[in-house]
Structure 1
Amino acid sequence: MNNTRIMMLAGVSVLTLSAGAVHAQTAAKPAAAEPETVGEVIVTARRQAENLQNVPTTVSAVSGDSLKKLAITQFQDVAALVPGLSLGTSSVTAGRSPAPSIRGVSYDASTQASPTVDIYQNDVPIDGTVAFQAVYDIQAIEVLRGPQGTLRGRTAPSGAITLTTRRADTHDYGGYVSAQATDHDGRNLQGAANIPLIAGVLGVRLAGVIDENKGDFVTSLNSAFLPVKSTRSGRISINFTPTETFDATLSYQKLNSHKRQFTQVEGNGAVGGVSAAAPAGYNGPVITASQRLDVDDSPRFNYTDNDFLSAQLNWEVLGQRLSYVGGYTKGDATTVGALDYGNVLIGRSYFQNLNTRNSQTTHEIRLSSVGSDRLIDYTVGYFYSKAPSKTGGTQIASFLPGSFGSPGAPADPRVLDSRFSLPTLITVNNNATENSVFANVRLHLGEATEISGGVRHIVSKVDNVQTVFLGAGMISRAIGFPCSAAGFASTYGGGFCDIPIAAGKTPVQNSSQKNTEKPTVYNLSISHRFSDQVLSYGTFATSWRRGANNFALGNAENDPVLASLIFLPDEKSKSFETGIKTNWLDRRLRLNLAVFYQKYDGLLFQLGSIPYVAANGATTVVQNSTFNVGADSIVKGFDFDGAFQVTPNWSISGGISYADGKVDNDIVPCRDSNFDGVPDKGTPTLSDFRSRNIHVATCKSNVSVSRDPLWSGTLQSEYWRPVGGVEAYVRGLLSYYPENKRRNAGYTVPDYGLLNVFAGVRSPDGAWDINIFARNLTKTGVETSRDVDYTTPAGAVTSFFGDSGYRWTSYAPPREIGVSLRYALGAR
């Protein structure tokens, strides 16, 4: 806490970009033209450009100019500017997909439910794996809080994030180039060129980025590989405006990324000692989170190739506007991941190999009114989405006797003969289709009052098939007579024969889901402007998400509780929000506050480290697993943001977001060692489960549905002054996170703050800029997460050698010092 308090006391000039501090406008504003007011923030939250202070909902906007000023080149770093927004991976567990979370609900991509926060680029829905890359040539990013679905493509209960890329200018030539480098080998080179092909009619913009960094900076004691995250991307945008009543924008983006990463651990090394050849601590030393280390022999590799095409057309005809927004995405991702988590096998690795090919096609047609002086404005439309995907791969299902030396001797962790194992062949085919119709109406009662409402009826179809076959393997076993008599070889002698096992012809897992859902969501809002300085509003909205599943659960056929978790029902929610937006001191001060309450029926989220009886007969075991659950839940909280233009040369802005999301005393799977219905830290034994004839414990719970702290705050400020014909400036960004004990199973994350500072000079017209910066200037070091269970290698390796003694963890980023150079001209 000491570092944080020092930062807070010294941070009068340090702080976050919330909605009030940025300008999401089409043309970049020269730095020298900073007004004495906090300025007008233009957003497109309601699918039209309007002043943020007139929008009856909570929106945080970050302009492309703000991204440049704060040296932000990675999408996930935008979370430092928006309080309450989390843009990390869905778990510290390796291999999970990146996932945005907001308003008190954490999203886990492995639930296979749709996101709680949807992401759009140029109004087209995109996957998180596409968004979570280096960002470049961005016009604006908007974070919309609360249920979405009546105005744009898909329903989402917590919010949406929209990215708008820079449009081509049809009048002026121009462009920019920028370079950034840090002392931790971070490198970013990006630029754009704008070319008007036909003055006022046709323009093209070319943009690209080359980015390399070390990701989360984790290295391994047992590997020469270093972490790397590399992105190469290019984009071409065409703007066509042949008449005053028609415009078309086309954009094509190509993206390639390569990641090589380890998963950070902390702990004391092996604690099981099942085998005499595997004593305690044999697999590695004591490791603390501050060391940013792993012990695995091999990293996890990920290769992604993605193509993204979007189109936006508008035609004003007969006093109405006919609009089309469409997109096509094609992705090819390959993951090669080492599965010996915790380095239980010394000097040996085995892998999961997965390849996913997916695509998404979306079309949206809207008809809307034109003009701002009408009594009633309307929008009606149709949306279509089709998203097929196919995943295939292999991994070890289990190691058999003979894998780690002769079955007649203690298992040796330095020996691995993969012939004595059973592989799995995994195939997942998914095809999701959505058709929906929607309508939105706004009624203007004079100049001060507006009533608006919207509805969307959805027809959602899904056809999901997951199949797992066992491949061919071999087991070393004594058969009571010479191996040669039975035609078997003998690797180890001593009467142990190499007995082949044929590949399975019947799948060990064959799960499918094929159905159609027809939900309807709606919203209603009323706003009233009491004066030029004060607007108040109230909003009611509903949301829906298709139910998730637990296809990987074993033993469900023998237990009604487990069986009920295979297919979880659809999630529904109702949200209430009221807010006030104000400006004071001749628009030099802006203060906005919103209070919300959201009730979920069957909120879809994950609970980790739940013990359950995983199989039957001689192979019955108790194992810890992650469960997808659907539980009635309540989220309540508030969002506050403010901005103050202290002097013409000094601005301050900041925000606080509070969200308390909990299960509403519903029954969920739990860790309950004495089966008294109260969660605890113990693990029941197999005999405990059998004595009660159950396979998993359940508890009435009010567990948090978020991994994030109850609240977070951001503070941002800039001061500049002319010096010898140029402008010198200093700016800072402080992101603060309080103590967090939610969903951390015994580990409490202490409170901490991350301080980024920037100093530089620029030309008065904003044509060039040179600055040096430091991220996490005070070197704040905090373990930001820790798994409750030890890492578990695939293939039941721990049954041979005991627990790894290491837990997955994560740590605050190190201090990183860098320099940024930028030069621009013309239409930037």
Structure 2
Amino acid sequence: MQIERVSRMALLCASVSAFAAPGVAYAQAGAEASNSDIIVTATRREEKLQDVPMSVNVATGEQLEKFNIFDAKDVQQLAPGLELTNTTGRNNTTTLRGVSFDPDQGTAPAVRVYYNEIPTDAQTAYTAIYDIEQIEVLRGPQGLLRGLSAPAGSITIRTRRPNFDAVEGYAQATATSRAGYNVQGGVSLPFNDQLALRVAAVVDGNRINNVKNVTLDERSQSNTESVRATLGWRPSDAFSAYLTYQYLHADNTQFQQVVGTGNTPFAFNPARSGPALGVSDYGAVAEGGFRNRNLTHLINLAFDYDLGGSTVSFVGAHQYSKLTINRDLDPGNSVPGYIAASNVVTPYKVDTAELRWQTNNDEGLGGGVSAFFTKQTGTTVVDQRADSFIAPFLGPDALIPIGPGFSAPNTVPIGVRVVVPVDTQTWSFAGNLRYKTGPLTIEGGLRYSIIKANQTTQQTVFFGAHPFFAALPPVIGPTEIIPASLQKRTNKPLTGGLTVNFAVNDDLNVYAAYGRAFRAGSTGVAVPAGISDDLISTRGEKTDSFEVGMKGSLLDRRVNYAVAAFYQKFDGFLGRFTGIQYNCPEQAGSCSASGDPIQPGEPTNGSFDFNYNGDAKVKGIEASIDARFIDTWDLGVAASYTRARYSDALLPCNDFDGSGVPNQNGTAVITGNGNVSYCRSSGRLAETPDFSLTANTELRFPVGEYTPFVRALFTYRPGFTSTLANFDYQDRELLNLFVGLRGPDSKWEVTAFARNLLNQKRITNTSLGNAITPTQTPGGTLDSGYRLVNVTNPREFGATLNFKW
């Protein structure tokens, strides 16, 4: 289940219109409302935002500081159609134009994240946002200009580089009424006009989703520390190089919120899963915790050498991360008195390099070529309980009489260790041509990629010591559970795009664009043994997209607008389906490729999260208007309508009553002859509404050298019915208010804010039915009485103080 995490701290204010609307940005209070001042690198060359033939959202580093963006997921409140979610404090998910992605599915993301032009996992890039130069959100398929393809878009994050001319920096501190704090800053130290250093750091803490575990009497809590140092070398005007090192440590304990009456899952045992809990209780009941730790070291090198008519560029990086996850796999406590403990350790190394050459001419014919390489290695180790429950009667520690003087335990104690070596690499080569004559610009190119992956998974099963199991071997394995034919895969896709841009006049650009992207399929990690190949391995995903749009200005550029319409078709969209009940061949009570065949009507063995392909279509329109009617008032409105749906796809589902639609009505059984049930679907690709809107405003009241101000941000997402979750989501209206005072020359600013001023509490994502655990007794499902949910964070007050020098 994808659970949305609402932003952790103060929400940023409305005047960041650049992020709320393509084509508009206000550099600072009092500046003219003009997009001509905004320079972006969306096309891998510096261009004016209005000239870029694609939908691009921009937020500068100054705006990130001013408006308390401590986590990249906060920007979803400013960009309609953009959803940034986090289910557990670790698996960051970006949804754009209705296309979503779950990091646990093991495929490339739907939206790529680039950190200083190097592809980086969102878990690292999103965790600590500080001392940033600029963030750009590129909408639509990305298959040409950067090394890795993506079907829905890319987010580029560029950190600040050192200033060679003067000592300068900033310091900012924020505190909130819900135990949130964020202290960050950065400073540039020029040694001379050729060598300079910039150092920045952040310390951040918050309650994440504000959930309290009523069983453990503990709250969700996040703590993050990070430091970054960038050394710049500029021996001449033609050459510059930057070496960056970043350290990151994040430690999150995030409990899964539940709603429902609770239950006594065992028929003759009084133990309850927990008390009745509603949406406003922000309560969890798991008997075990959910702790996620991320330790990352990241080194980045970039240089540019201007040869006059062309430029040679290089970017390379080495990342080492270690993710450690400890959790209870029974978040609804459907088995009271039992912790389904799981421990996952994922160390991995990623090495990336790209060499590019491109011409510098603006008019006439130009272009460039590039070579890109990335490789990831590491071995994930999973240790978890996989106990099998016999009957839903007495409890997990009970003994069941099976004959005179002899009884068997109600719980078959089984432990599983899964070892997953990871070895993937990608080579890609690209070439593009660009021709500009007067108002007309045509650019296009192709990228050829070689994507290789070697995926194996070794499983070892351990049985507990008990006389009833004396005849069984204490250990089975390690056993390779991925068929040999599915272990190695190579994809060689051809991606690219073509854009045509025409400047009708100085205040109006129109464009048309085509893009093709590809994502390689994946082989499931720790899948149940003995299941069918379609549930183990997915094929590659192809997508083609067409977009037309315009960007313009009116009233001497005091009013700016942008409109884009798009259509996209997916061949084999890569989706993830969570909590799917399955049956598998069994050997000694455990799934086995060589075990006993599945018997009709037998109880399911458990639930798993499966990847699967399904054809899909996406179409929509995005529009924005931003205005500065007078010098002291900004107003911006942006909206997005996207219809992203499967095209009558056959997908894994829970279909307990055999109706052909997702449900958990009655006993957990499989409909059909497969390992799982399948349902026909023309449903949503993501659990998001089709329409979304943001509106923002700022009023300034200059008094001499000082400027009091009031800012407001309103976001609206209508309600919708989810077939996947069988749930009617309510509409959401979030209002955030900022009041503050800015000092002379904007050298300091103090702000008080209220986030979710209306204190609206809405379920933003939910499971399909209650959290359950099957038993080996037909019809004997253990029901927790709770749905797993995520809810918008409650109202929060806070204050921020910012200094610049």
Query: When the two structures are superposed, what TM-score results if normalisation uses the length of structure 2?
Result: 0.90
* C-alpha contact 2:487 2:523 (8 A) present in aligned 1: no
* C-alpha contact 1:18 1:642 (8 A) present in aligned 2: no
Q: 2:119 aligns with which of 105, 117, 125?
A: 125
* C-alpha contact 2:89 2:253 (8 A) present in aligned 1: no
Q: CA offsets per residue over residues 406-451 of structure 1, 9 Å max, x none?
A: 52379xxxxx99996111011011111111110111111x210011
* C-alpha contact 1:652 1:716 (8 A) present in aligned 2: yes
Given the alignment of the two structures, is residue 115 of structure 1 paired with residue 109 of structure 2, yes or no?
yes
User: What's the CA shift for 1:222?
Assistant: 1.0
* C-alpha contact 2:17 2:24 (8 A) present in aligned 1: no
1:743–1:312 Cα change, 3 Å: farther
* C-alpha contact 2:265 2:783 (8 A) present in aligned 1: yes
* C-alpha contact 2:418 2:526 (8 A) present in aligned 1: no
In 2, distance between residues paired with 1:38 and 1:179? Answer: 30
Q: 1:383 aligns with which of 349, 368, 372?
A: 372
* C-alpha contact 1:470 1:508 (8 A) present in aligned 2: no
Q: Number of residues paired by the alignment?
A: 770
* C-alpha contact 1:87 1:99 (8 A) present in aligned 2: yes
In 2, distance between residues paired with 1:400 and 1:665? Answer: 37
Q: 1:227 aligns with which of 210, 220, 233?
A: 220
Moved more, 797-806 or 39-48: 797-806
Structure 1 unmatched runs, 5+: 1-12, 411-415, 478-496
1:629–1:21 Cα change, 3 Å: closer
User: What's the CA shift for 1:22?
Assistant: 9.4
User: What's the CA shift for 1:134?
Assistant: 2.7
Partner of 1:315: 305
Q: 1:268 aligns with which of 258, 261, 264?
A: 261
Corresponding residue SS for 1:756? strand
In 1, distance between residues paired with 2:39 and 2:570? Answer: 32
Corresponding residue SS for 1:130? helix
In 2, distance between residues paired with 1:674 and 1:790? Answer: 15
User: What's the CA shift for 1:656?
Assistant: 1.0
1:665–1:241 Cα change, 3 Å: same
Identity of aligned residues (%): 29
Q: CA offsets per residue over residues 108-128 of structure 1, 9 Å max, x none?
A: 122211100000111011111
Partner of 1:727: 707
Given the alignment of the two structures, is residue 812 of structure 1 paired with residue 792 of structure 2, yes or no?
yes
User: Which residue identity lines up with residue 291 of structure 1 in the other structure?
Assistant: D
Q: 2:160 aligns with which of 160, 166, 169?
A: 166
Given the alignment of the two structures, is residue 772 of structure 1 paired with residue 748 of structure 2, yes or no?
no
Partner of 2:331: 341
Partner of 2:519: 545
Partner of 2:136: 142
In 2, distance between residues paired with 1:236 and 1:695? Answer: 52
1:812–1:419 Cα change, 3 Å: closer
User: What's the CA shift for 1:648?
Assistant: 0.9
User: What's the CA shift for 1:746?
Assistant: 2.0
In 2, distance between residues paired with 1:250 and 1:276? Answer: 65
User: Which residue identity lines up with residue 421 of structure 2 in the other structure?
Assistant: N
In 1, distance between residues paired with 2:154 and 2:20? Answer: 18
* C-alpha contact 2:36 2:49 (8 A) present in aligned 1: no
Given the alignment of the two structures, is residue 513 of structure 1 paired with residue 521 of structure 2, yes or no?
no
Q: 1:196 aligns with which of 190, 207, 225?
A: 190
User: What's the CA shift for 1:654?
Assistant: 2.6
Partner of 2:474: 502
Partner of 2:501: 527
Partner of 2:405: none
* C-alpha contact 2:668 2:774 (8 A) present in aligned 1: no
Partner of 1:681: 663
Given the alignment of the two structures, is residue 460 of structure 1 paired with residue 451 of structure 2, yes or no?
yes
Partner of 1:701: 681
Given the alignment of the two structures, is residue 434 of structure 1 paired with residue 426 of structure 2, yes or no?
yes
* C-alpha contact 2:80 2:694 (8 A) present in aligned 1: yes
User: Which residue identity lines up with residue 505 of structure 1 in the other structure?
Assistant: G
User: Which residue identity lines up with residue 514 of structure 2 in the other structure?
Assistant: F
Q: 1:362 aligns with which of 349, 352, 358?
A: 352
Q: 2:41 aligns with which of 39, 44, 50?
A: 44
User: What's the CA shift for 1:604?
Assistant: 0.5
In 2, distance between residues paired with 1:400 and 1:159? Answer: 45
In 2, distance between residues paired with 1:472 and 1:698? Answer: 32
* C-alpha contact 1:537 1:579 (8 A) present in aligned 2: yes
In 2, distance between residues paired with 1:798 and 1:17? Answer: 58
Corresponding residue SS for 2:64? helix
Q: CA offsets per residue over residues 301-356 of structure 1, 9 Å max, x none?
A: 11111011111101112522111011111101111112332224445534211111
1:272–1:406 Cα change, 3 Å: closer
Query: When the two structures are superposed, what TM-score results if normalisation uses the length of structure 1?
Result: 0.87
Given the alignment of the two structures, is residue 294 of structure 1 paired with residue 284 of structure 2, yes or no?
yes
In 2, distance between residues paired with 1:173 and 1:743? Answer: 57
* C-alpha contact 1:338 1:349 (8 A) present in aligned 2: yes
User: What's the CA shift for 1:693?
Assistant: 4.6
Partner of 2:727: 747
1:405–1:799 Cα change, 3 Å: farther
Given the alignment of the two structures, is residue 629 of structure 1 paired with residue 612 of structure 2, yes or no?
yes
1:417–1:144 Cα change, 3 Å: farther
User: What's the CA shift for 1:553?
Assistant: 5.1
Partner of 2:571: 601
User: What's the CA shift for 1:627?
Assistant: 3.2
Corresponding residue SS for 2:275? coil
Given the alignment of the two structures, is residue 59 of structure 1 paired with residue 56 of structure 2, yes or no?
yes
Partner of 1:738: 718
User: What's the CA shift for 1:683?
Assistant: 5.2
Q: 2:624 aligns with which of 618, 641, 644?
A: 641
Structure 2 unmatched runs, 5+: 1-12, 403-407, 586-596
Corresponding residue SS for 1:53? helix
Partner of 1:710: 690
In 2, distance between residues paired with 1:463 and 1:109? Answer: 18
In 2, distance between residues paired with 1:392 and 1:626? Answer: 18
* C-alpha contact 2:89 2:292 (8 A) present in aligned 1: no
Task: Say what the alpha-carbon RMSD is for the aligned residues.
Answer: 2.9
User: What's the CA shift for 1:755?
Assistant: 1.2
1:589–1:653 Cα change, 3 Å: same
In 2, distance between residues paired with 1:407 and 1:581? Answer: 72
In 2, distance between residues paired with 1:61 and 1:683? Answer: 46
Corresponding residue SS for 1:564? helix
* C-alpha contact 2:20 2:694 (8 A) present in aligned 1: no
